[in-house]
Amino acid sequence: MQEQQQLFSEIPPSKPKRSELFDRHAGGVTLVDPPDERQDGLAFSEIYAVFMGRKCPACDGPKGTRHGFCGTCFYSLPRVLRDRLYRSFGSGYEGAHQGAHNWLKAKQVVAREKDRVRA
């Protein structure tokens, strides 16, 4: 048993595959930028502060602590993105949060454009 634990502890964490960085079901929106290409991403401490805060980062509405987004924003995400937000910190939550935030911001821009055209 100890030999198995030692073998698993020696395996280095793998870098995410390029296919895991994009989601075709979310309209081609980038879920996670590769670490070396990320320019506008949030730091781990900033994502944790948002997670523990009481304000939704996408709409500035109220949210519960230990939730990434308010219920309205969370349930407007595609199922694939919502599922990824259940990952734990250090195991993919940071990238899932950034991807969901990017998707919600893109959706807000489209909604604003539609409102502008209607007016």
Q: How far apart are CA 87 and CA 89, in angstroms?
A: 7
Q: How far apart are CA 19 and CA 1, in angstroms?
A: 34
Quick: pLDDT tens for 49-84.
Answer: 999 999 999 998 999 999 999 999 999 999 999 999
Selection from 46, 57, 106, 100 nearest residue 75 by Cα: 100
pTM: 0.61
Quick: pLDDT tens for 1-49.
Answer: 555 455 445 545 555 555 554 545 555 554 444 443 344 567 888 888 9
Strand partners for 30: 22
Q: How far apart are CA 112 and CA 3, in angstroms?
A: 58
Quick: pLDDT tens for 87-97.
Answer: 988 888 988 99
